């Protein structure tokens, strides 16, 4: 699993080379407190397309610090594309990662060949109580998130792994991530996006309910919406095959 310097920090990512050349790569961007591990199924199950799944600053095996704004993460993502020699990519972002992808599409559209917006929204308000809990009782906050981010049929082993990843991110990074989400709002700018866009959401998502995805679909010209039955907020690991099949429509 390679590493390189991006904007002065050590960045970790996984990469799968294409079977055929000339295809825009898919770059997977995880959500708050996450890591590249959330995308391993999709990296594996899109074998004909070059894929990158990265750890944002302060997450997974990338060096810190994290950021506290979507703009800060988006600027780092563009620097990552430069570092790996990618001019244009399909950006697949989950939750906070979707906000990062939207920011890049709005501010640097020449870099975006397509968008996959997964369990995300044009605005991502965070309950003040959750942000306070992260600072005051981190363990309790992680437990609360465990109840909210996974659907009822999620594999318990997958849930345990996901909660360990949130714990590993730590309160400073997670608090910064939620501050970034809370300050994000592009509800009145979706009409500016011209990239082919796929919107995905789990039907049982309690963090970013289906109305968020419907708003994205209606606001972005030509966007399509794919609902994953029975999945919660973490649909990439809850229903990985369904997500990979839907992504194939953007990266055939």
Q: Are 195 and 112 in contact (CB under 8 A)?
A: yes
Domains in the chain (CATH in brackets) are 3-247 (3.40.50.1820)
Q: Are 129 and 145 in contact (CB under 8 A)?
A: no
Q: How many CB atoms lie within 10 A of CB 161?
A: 13
> Using one digit for the tens of pLDDT, what is the confidence trace for 210-247?
999 999 999 999 999 999 999 999 999 999 999 999 99
Q: Residue 25's closest CA among 118, 87, 82, 98?
A: 87
SS3 content of the chain, % helix, strand, coil (to 5): 45, 20, 35
DSSP result, 149-176: HS-TTS-HHHHHHHHHHHHHHHHHHHHH
pLDDT class for 149, splitting at 50, 70, 90? Answer: very high
Q: Is the whole-model pTM more than 0.85?
A: yes
> Using one digit for the tens of pLDDT, what is the confidence trace for 107-147?
999 999 999 999 999 999 988 778 888 888 998 888 888 88
DSSP-derived 3-state class of residue 144: helix
- Look at the block and give the residue holding tokens 């599409």: 105
DSSP-derived 3-state class of residue 91: strand
- What mean pLDDT, rounded, does the chain reach? 92
d(CA 33, CA 31): 6
């Amino acid at each position: 699993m390679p590493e390189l310097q991006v904007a002065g920090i050590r960045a970790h990512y996984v990469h799968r080379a294409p079977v055929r050349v000339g295809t825009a790569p898919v770059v997977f961007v995880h959500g708050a407190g996450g890591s590249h591990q959330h995308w391993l199924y999709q990296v594996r199950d899109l074998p004909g397309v070059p894929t990158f799944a990265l750890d944002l600053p302060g997450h997974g095996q990338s060096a810190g610090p994290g950021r506290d704004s979507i703009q800060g993460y988006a600027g780092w993502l563009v620097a990552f594309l430069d570092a790996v020699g990618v001019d244009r990519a399909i950006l697949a972002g989950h939750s906070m990662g979707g906000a990062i992808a939207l920011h890049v599409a709005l501010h640097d559209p020449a870099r975006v060949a397509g968008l996959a917006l997964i369990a995300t929204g044009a605005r991502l308000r965070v309950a003040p109580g959750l942000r306070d809990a992260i600072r005051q009782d981190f363990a309790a906050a992680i437990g609360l998130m465990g109840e909210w981010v996974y659907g009822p049929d999620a594999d318990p082993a997958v849930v345990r792994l996901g909660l360990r990843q949130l714990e590993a991110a730590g309160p400073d990074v997670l608090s910064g991530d939620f501050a970034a989400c809370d300050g994000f709002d592009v509800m009145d700018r979706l009409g500016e996006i011209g990239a082919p866009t796929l919107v995905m959401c789990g039907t049982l998502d309690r963090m970013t309910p289906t109305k968020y995805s419907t708003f994205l679909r209606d606001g972005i010209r030509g966007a399509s919406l794919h609902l994953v039955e029975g999945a919660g907020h973490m649909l990439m690991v809850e229903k990985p095959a369904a997500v990979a099949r839907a992504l194939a429509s953007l990266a055939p």
